[in-house]
Structures are given as C-alpha cells and as structure tokens.
Amino acid sequence: MFKSVYNWIDERLDVTPLWRDVADHEVPEHVNPAHHFSAFVYCFGGLTFFITVIQILSGMFLTMYYVPDIINAYASVDYLQHKVPFGSIVRGMHHWGASLVIVMMFLHTLRVFFTGSYKAPREMNWVVGMLIFFIMLGLGFTGYLLPWDNKAYFATKVGIQIADSVPYIGEYIKVFLQGGDIVGATTLTRFFAIHVFFLPGALLALLAAHFLMIRKQGIAGPL
Amino acid sequence: MAHGNNSNEKVVYVGDSRVRKRETVNSIPPDYTSFPGRSEAFIPNFLLKEWMVGCVVLVGFLVLTIAEPPPLGYPADPTNSAFIPMPDWYFLFLYQLLKYPWVSGSYVPLGVMGVPGVAFGSLLLAPFLDTGKERRFYRRPIATTLMLLSLVSCYYLTKVSWDHYQHELEITNTVPEHIEREEKAREAAASGEEPPSATKPKEDVALVDADNAGVKTIMEKAKCMTCHGTDLKGQAGAKIPSLHGVGDLLDKAQLTEIVTNGKGGMPAFKDTLSAEEIDTLTTWLAKQKAAQ
C-alpha cells in the first residue's frame, strides 16, 4: 500500500534521490555513539537543531498571547506566565531554550573546530555555520527586550549604547534599532519584527544551506 | 501535448512535465550499504537511537522549566535610575571587555570594532586562515592555542562581570526584581492572599488631615519633601516609599524608630528634630491609612 503510494509519487516527482539524501544516507561508524561512546560529541549539531525546533514551536505559542506594545507587552507576558494554564512552562521553554541553544551551538562549534572538520572542502559550511551563530546572538539580543521589564529595558539601552559607540556608522545603527531617539514604543515593535520575522527567516535559509551542504559533502571522515 | 510518450524521442518525460521517465534505476545515488565499516541506515536504525537521546534531553529540559520558572521583574520604568543593567549571560564577556580603560573612552573603536572584529572575523574565516591539511587539533598548535586562549579569556571576562554584578547587588543592598517578585508571590500564597499584581498601579490613597499646620512646619524643618516629594508620594524609581497610606504598613513605634534612627538610604533625624516633634510627626504618619 505505502509502496504503491510511494511509487506513484516517485514516478511523478522522482523523489528517490531526495529521499536518499534526506533519510536513507549512511551514518558512518566514527560518528555513531553506539560504536564509540566518545562520538557523542557529534550529537551537538543535531541537539542544536532540536532546541531550535523547540524555540520555533514555543515561540509560535507565545505570540498567541504576546502584544508588542509598551502598554500591554509586560501585562501580556505577566498574564501568560501567571494566568494561562502551562503558560509558565511554554515561556520557560522559550526562555531556557534560548540559553541552551547557545550552549549547544557553542559545543557544536568547538567540536567542528577541534576535529578540523571545517577544512577543505567544507569551508563554506563553516562560514554559514558562523553566520547562524551570529543570527542566534541577534535573536537572543532582540528577544531579551520583549518582556519589557526593567531588566529587558536597561540591557537593551546598554546594548544600543554600545552599538552607538561604533565609529562613523554607530549613530545609524542606533537609530535603526531604536526607530527614534529613545528606547521606546518603536524600539519594541522593531525588535519584535526583527525577532519574529527577519532573523528567523534568515535563520531558516541559512539552516537549509547548512543541511544541504552537509548532505552534499557528507560528514568529515575519521581523524 | 508537447511531449508525448513517443518512443522515437531521445528523452522521454512523464506526461508533459520535465521529469524524465526513468528506464533503469542506476541514477539513484549509492545507499549506505556501499560504504565500508559499521555504517548504518539513518532511517530507522539511527533515527530511533537519536530519538531516544532526544527524549532524554527533552525530559531534562522540561524538568528544568518546571523547577525554575522563567524570570519576570517589574514593568520597564525609564525613570528608574537605581536599576543595575544586566545583559544576558552570553553577552557578558563583551560587556566586561568594554569596561577596561584601554578599550573604552577615546579607545572605544578598538573595543567595539577592533577586538571583537578580529576575534569574530578570524572565527568566521577560520578555514581560510588555517589552510593546512592536518585535522587533528594536537597537530595544529597555533589554531588550537588561539582557540583555547579565547575560551579562557571569554570565561574569565564572564566570571569577572558576573562577580562584579553580584558585588554591586550586595553593596546597594538590592535583590534582583524577578527574585523579589517571586518571593512576594510566595509569601502571599503562603498567607492565602492574591499575589501582588505588578501591572495594576496601586490605588491612590488620600492624605488624612492633610492641612495640619504643625506637621507641615516639622516637615519643612526636616526637609522630608526633598526625597519623599512635594506630594509625599515618594520616588518609585529610586525606591523612596510613598507616605500616602504609610499607616497601613507601619505602626507608630516603627515610624518613630525610622524617623529617629533612619533606615536604608534615609538619614536619622534625632539631631534635627526634638522628641516632641518626632512624636507629633509620627502620630500624624500613623494616621495615614486608606479610607475603609
């Protein structure tokens, strides 16, 4: 039954090479913790992606309640956390996941660095990975403001002050991030848009490139 | 139809699409069985194991989120001048770096562009800087040493920044807002009350006996209004309490103690005011209760 459905689709779309790439590829012995326990260091990339998926899902649920304006932002987070059933857990997943994704990505980066896996022919994949790292830091920075409590507000103020001290273009970065002369209503809507649309869009595109390259080139061989 | 299934054509498509009709299966890339060693299939063998690892991680993660609710302080108040800014932990190394005199002030371009630029730039371009064929880290002393040095300095900067923050909290006698708030909610829950709401502003309590001339003279003498405000509503940003409704929170003895000997940032008034004056003042303050 499944076989005939698969064949029907395959005849029309020629999905077998695609399926091979996505699912039916080899997992070499040297990255398989079942054979060598020390190979668990190869899990960090997958775990980063796993936490990223959690971030996307929990974030989608958070936007069901979150209101990005300075009057209601705090109140909506407060309501979500204290009144909505399991709201505290969903927000907790997003909050702690944000830290965890940085930790996992950091460990993944170190693994790739110390095993020299970024060397030819995988240079481009390393560069894309570093861009993902920067996007994640950007997501962390913009997401930190959204609950609109004092910690969020003053951390963003300091962050924008630092950006402002960049020579020549600092002023422009500041105005771009703030959307005005102060950290206020326009900053919050801007950070929300950047956090929810711009950066995740860029992140998904880069992740696609990252995975496409790893499938095209395969995992780096044993040392 | 542009491309019929005419066997005379060199390339045969499926219907009128651009998918070539396959005659043999040799266009499929090799599967895992053609790789040497104990390789295994991703689906289902490896994916099942991966899912088990994923489940363990997920359970640990959920335990964390249940045990440790996400922090939430009080609503942002731009006039709050006493708040100690604190970025998220993974920005602390950068935050701390910019505090050193050789990368701040007139050297700030070095701090915001120079050092992070070189560090992140070389990380981004690592494959083009470390171009040797050798992959083992112990055979790449320069790359490995630079990375280890960066790791140590990031750790050091983060630790210094965090210790500095803790120290600042200690000397200003501050409890971080999210902890203070959680504590209050817990106390309220223990005594069976509604947790205090941080979103609703407290209802304005009118002053009782507001035109008492004797009290006014004493207050002017002690300059109460300098800190507590001409309307005696305090300054929430600087954590100076309002005197409206203060009688609900403190009784006369406690008020006398505070006025006489001071408390927190408030000075002692035992030298400025006489005992009778303090008595008159605290009698009046103790009367400041919300209308029933």
> Tens of pLDDT along A69-80?
999 999 999 999
Asked, for residue A18, whether it belongs to a domain, the answer is: no
DSSP designation for B172: T
Q: Burial letters for A36-67: b for 16+ Cβ neighbours within 10 Å, e otherwise?
A: eeebebbbbbebbbbbbebbeebbebbeebbb
Contact A116 B123 (CB under 8 A): no
The closest of B210, B230, B211 to B220, measured between CA atoms, is B230
Answer whether residue A15 is part of any domain: no
Give the pLDDT score at A192: 97
- How many angstroms separate the CA of residue A26 from the nearest CA in chain B? 4
Strand ranges inside chain A, DSSP E: 26-27
Both B104 and B55 in one domain: the answer is no
C-beta of residue B239 within 8 angstroms of C-beta of residue B184: no
Range of the domain at A179: 32-113+123-217
- Structure ipTM: 0.90
Q: What is the pLDDT along chain B (292 residues), one digit of tens a residue?
A: 454 555 566 777 777 777 777 666 555 555 556 666 677 777 778 888 888 888 999 999 999 999 999 999 999 988 888 889 999 999 999 999 999 988 888 888 888 888 999 999 999 999 999 998 899 999 999 999 999 999 999 999 999 999 999 999 999 888 898 898 888 888 888 888 777 777 655 556 777 777 788 888 888 888 888 888 888 887 766 778 888 888 878 888 888 888 888 887 788 888 888 888 888 888 888 888 876 5
Q: How confident is the model at residue A130 (pLDDT cuts 50, 70, 90)?
A: very high
Q: Which residues in B lie closer than 8 A to residue A152 (C-beta atoms)?
A: 76
Q: Which residue has the tokens 């998918």?
A: B19
Residue-level pLDDT at B200: 59
User: How many Å apart are CA B278 and CA B214, to the nearest integer?
Assistant: 11
pLDDT of residue A79: 93
pLDDT tens sequence across A180-218: 889 999 999 999 999 999 999 999 999 999 999 988 888
DSSP state of B267: P
Query: Is B228 a domain residue?
Result: yes
In a domain, A22, yes or no: no
State residue B35's pLDDT score.
Answer: 62
Instruction: For residue A222, tell me if it sits in a domain.
Output: no
Same domain, B95 and B58: no
Neighboring chain B residues of A88 at a CB cutoff of 8 Å: 69-70
Q: How many domains are contained in chain B?
A: 3
Structural domain total, chain A: 1
Q: What is the DSSP string of A30-79?
A: GG-TTT-GGGGGGGHHHHHHHHHHHHHHHHHHHTTT---STTTHHHHHHH
Chain A residues in contact with B126 by the CB 8 A cut-off are 113, 118, 126
Spatial distance between the Cα atoms of B110 and B242, rounded to a whole number of angstroms: 46
Instruction: Please state, rounded to an integer, the average pLDDT across all residues of chain A.
Output: 92
Residue B247 is part of a domain; what is its CATH number? 1.10.760.10
Q: Is B288 exposed, middle or buried (0-12, 13-18, 19+ CB in 10 A)?
A: buried
**Residue A104: CB partners within 8 Å, gap ≥ 6?**
A44, A47, A48, A51
- Closest by CA to B232, choosing from B252, B265, B204, is B204
Which of B68, B99, B119 is the C-terminal boundary of a domain?
B68
Nearest to B74 by CA among A58, A149, A43: A149
Q: Name the phi and psi angles at B203, rounded to 5.
A: -65, 140
Question: What b/e sequence results for B183-220 when a residue is b if at least 16 CB atoms lie within 10 Å of its CB, and e otherwise?
Answer: eebeeeeeeeeeeeebeeeeeebebbeeebeebeebbe
Token readout for A207 is: 């992740």
Min CA distance, B39 vs chain A (Å)? Answer: 4
Q: Is residue B188 part of a domain?
A: no
The predicted structure's pLDDT at residue A2? 87
Q: Tell me whether residues A122 and B134 touch, CB distance under 8 A.
A: no
Number of H helices, E strands in chain B: 12, 1
Which chain A residue shows the shortest CA-CA distance from B133? Answer: A119
DSSP B266: B
Of residues A142 and B20, which shows the higher confidence score?
A142
Of A145, A159, A153, which Cα lies nearest the Cα of A194?
A145
- pLDDT value, residue B14: 74
CATH number at residue B105: 1.10.287
d(CA A18, nearest CA chain B) in Å: 9
Report whether A90 contacts A41 (CB < 8 A): no
Q: In terms of residues, how long is chain A?
A: 223
Q: Would you state the pLDDT for residue A107? A: 97
B226 and B279 inside one domain: yes
A109's tokens? 């980066």
Q: What letter represents residue B57's amino acid?
A: V
CB A82 to CB B195 under 8 A? yes
Of B21, B36, B68, the last residue of a domain is B68
Q: What domain range includes position B263?
A: 213-286
Q: Mark yes or no for CB contact A220/B135 under 8 Å.
A: yes
**Pair B31, A24: CB distance under 8 Å:** yes
**Angle CA A29–A30–A35, to nearest 5:** 60
A104 within a domain of the structure (yes/no): yes
Other residues' Cβ atoms within 10 Å of the Cβ of residue A168: 8
- Whether residue B127 is contained in a domain is answered as yes
Which residue, A99, A69, A65, is CA-closest to A83?
A65
Length of chain B as a residue count: 292
Query: Counting runs of H as helices and runs of E as strands, what totals does chain A give?
Result: 10, 1
B195 close to A (CB below 8 A): yes
pLDDT of the residue at B163: 96
With contact defined as beta carbons under 8 Å apart, do A77 and A147 qualify?
yes
pLDDT tens digits along A22-62: 777 778 888 888 888 888 899 899 999 999 999 999 999 99
Closest approach of A178 to chain B, Cα-based (Å): 14
Q: Which pLDDT value is given to residue B244?
A: 82
A72: domain CATH number is 1.20.810.10
Q: Is residue B76 part of a domain?
A: no
Contact B72 A27 (CB under 8 A): no
Q: In whole angstroms, give the CA distance from residue B184 to residue B196.
A: 7
Task: Check residue A195 and report its DSSP letter.
Answer: I
Q: Is residue B189 in a domain?
A: no
Greater model confidence, B33 or A179 = A179
A26-27/B40-41 β-pairing? antiparallel
B96 and B139 inside one domain: yes
Nearest in space to B70 (alpha carbons), one of A106, A143, A196, A133: A143
> Long-range contacts for B251-255 (Cβ within 8 Å, ≥24 apart)?
B251/B286, B252/B282, B252/B283, B252/B285, B252/B286, B255/B282, B255/B285, B255/B286
